[in-house]
Amino acid sequence: MKFELEEISPTEKKINVEIPHEEVEKILSKKYKELRKRVKIKGFRPGKAPRFMLERFYGPQVNQETVQELLEINIPKILEESEIEPLVELEYDFEEIDFKGQKPLKFSAIAEVKPEITIEDYRGIPLKKEVIEVTDREVEEKLQELRENNAYLETVEEPPPVKEGDFVVIDFDTMIDGEKKDDLSAVDFTLEVGKAQIHADFDSQLLGMKVGETRSVKIQYSPETPNKELAGKEVEFKVTLEEVKQKVLPELDDEFARDLGDFSSLEEIKEKIREELLKMKESRSENMLREQLFNALLERTSFELPRRLVELEMALMVEQFKKQLEARGLTLPDIHSSEDALKEQYRPEAER
């Protein structure tokens, strides 16, 4: 095997490779020998079909398998010997894949590599470091979040009419064009009035309801509603109020601390919260310093970007965005966009 290197650009190296027929034939013979044992050719006993018959039926397949094995054998050697570290998979171009007539295998491969970067005048770059402190107020806010997360609901006996902020347990049948939709109906459904878990207009029409009351709630959904079954429809909900509940917050005391597990007092929880907030702020401060340094270095240098690496990064960004849309029941045409338009939109971020 022999190869030559050609520099196309600071980020692309072209490798011209020639593998002699003797090496190719060695792999070909092995492949046909293995194939002969597995296949049946009409008119020949198992394992006795001549090679020219195997070539007639399986030639292209064997050629491809041979090329793949030759690449697996030779490419690592070439990369090691030439000290090339590709950033992405090599891009191959074969003159032809025809092993008749003692022909060698000739091909080229484009390797995308890191550009050489020279940074000048990097000493004395001014950076701003955030002053780190954790206040008592921040600790109290986190403590209240912890309290909220451990709250529970209890039924209100003889509750007043429903008001915003109440937790209600309802049954509802969903009617579209006069037909009940079981997949959109529910029993013992709990919602907080005012949070628009179903729809803001749904909540507003629950106000004033009493336990045991049944009410018709009508909502006109917009054509842009992600749920296609509801989009553009007037939907009627037949709602029955089963219960009204209230949120009960635990007392902030040592018993609350012990109920959480690894704490014996409320003060221990506060100290733990303070430690975690300090770690979080220190980490954020370090990230901000790195970002400042990164931006400053970018301003002091310029270099050619690896084309395919940028394209790969843009493609990944587009796929992530498409998955986010799918989670909302949308596609790119729904937001009047396309993959090409998104890639260009993401290009500056991908190049960074």
What are the respective helix, strand and coil percentages of the chain, to the nearest 5? 45, 20, 35
Residue 147 lies in a domain: no
Candidates 91, 87, 92, 110; CA nearest to 6 is 110
pLDDT for 123 beyond 90: no
What is the mean pLDDT of the segment spanning 84-113? 88
Asked whether residue 211 falls in the same domain as residue 279, the answer is: no
The Cα-based distances of 348 to 20, 323, 342 in angstroms read 45, 21, 11
Question: Is 231 within a domain?
Answer: yes
104 vs 121, more confident: 104
Please tell me whether residues 218 and 287 are part of one structural domain. Answer: no
Name the token pair of 346.
Answer: 């993401």
Q: Is pLDDT of 67 > 80?
A: yes
138 located within any domain: no
Q: Within a 13 Å sphere around the CA of 62, how many CA atoms are in the beta-carbon half?
A: 26
Residue 225 DSSP symbol:
-
Q: What is the number of other CB atoms lying within 10 angstroms of the CB of residue 128?
A: 9
**pLDDT over 90 at 218, yes or no:** yes
128-175 pLDDT, tens digit per residue, is 888 899 999 999 999 999 999 999 999 999 999 999 999 999 999 999
The dihedral of CA 199, 201, 204, 210: what is its sign? negative
Neighbours of 106 (CB within 10 A): 14
> Looking at the structure, do residues 275 and 328 belong to the same domain, yes or no?
yes
Residue 28: inside a domain: yes
Residue where a domain terminates, one of 55, 80, 112: 112
The per-residue pLDDT for 293 is: 87
Distance CA 70, CA 62 (A): 12
- What is the chain's mean pLDDT, rounded? 90
Whether residue 62 sits in one domain with residue 96: yes
Same-domain pairing of 160 and 243? yes
pTM attached to this predicted model: 0.54
pLDDT at residue 349 above 90? Answer: no
Both tokens of 124, joined, read 């004395």
On the question of pLDDT at 270 being above 90, the answer is yes
The reply to whether 195 and 231 lie within a common domain is yes
Q: What's the pLDDT band for 262 if we cut at 50, 70, 90? A: confident
Q: How confident is the model at residue 117 (pLDDT cuts 50, 70, 90)?
A: confident
**What's the average model confidence in pLDDT over 332-349?**
85
pLDDT at residue 161, as a whole number: 96
Does 64 map to a domain? yes
Percentage of the chain with pLDDT > 70?
A: 100
Give the lowest-confidence range in 11-25, 92-106, 309-323: 92-106
* 180 Cβ neighbours under 8 A, 6+ residues apart: 173, 174
**How many domains does the chain contain in total?**
3
At which of 112, 140, 161 does a domain end? 112
Smallest CA-to-CA distance from 291 within 132, 87, 129, 133 is with 129
Judgement on whether residues 67 and 7 belong to the same structural domain of the protein: yes
Please say which residue of 230, 248, 266 terminates a domain: 248
Cα–Cα distance, 338 to 29 (Å, whole number): 49
Residue 235 and residue 335 in one domain: no
Residue 113 confidence class, pLDDT cut points 50, 70, 90: very high
pLDDT at 322: 87
* Claim to verify: residue 344 and residue 320 sit in the same structural domain: yes
Stretch 224-249: mean pLDDT: 92
User: Which domain, by its residues, includes 296?
Assistant: 254-351
Q: Are 41 and 58 in contact (CB under 8 A)?
A: no
The reply to whether 162 falls in a domain is yes
User: Is the residue at 260 inside a domain?
Assistant: yes
Domain assignment of residue 133, yes or no: no
Q: Locate 290 and state its tokens.
A: 């790195």
- Virtual torsion, Cα 304, 305, 306, 308, nearest 10 deg: -130
Span 24-58, pLDDT tens digits = 999 999 999 999 988 888 888 888 899 989 989 99
Judge if 243 and 271 occupy the same domain: no
Same domain flag for 102 and 32 = yes
Q: How much is the pLDDT for 125?
A: 83
pLDDT of 331 reads 81
CB-CB contact of 301 with 118 (8 Å): yes
The CATH number that applies at residue 50 is: 3.30.70.1050
Let me know whether 260 and 343 are in one domain: yes
Alpha-carbon dihedral of residues 59, 61, 66, 72, nearest 10 degrees?
Answer: 170
Q: Calculate mean pLDDT across residues 253-280.
A: 92
21, with CB counted inside 10 A (0-12, 13-18, 19+), is middle
CB 104 within 8 Å of CB 10: no
- The label of the residue with tokens 């084309």 reads 307
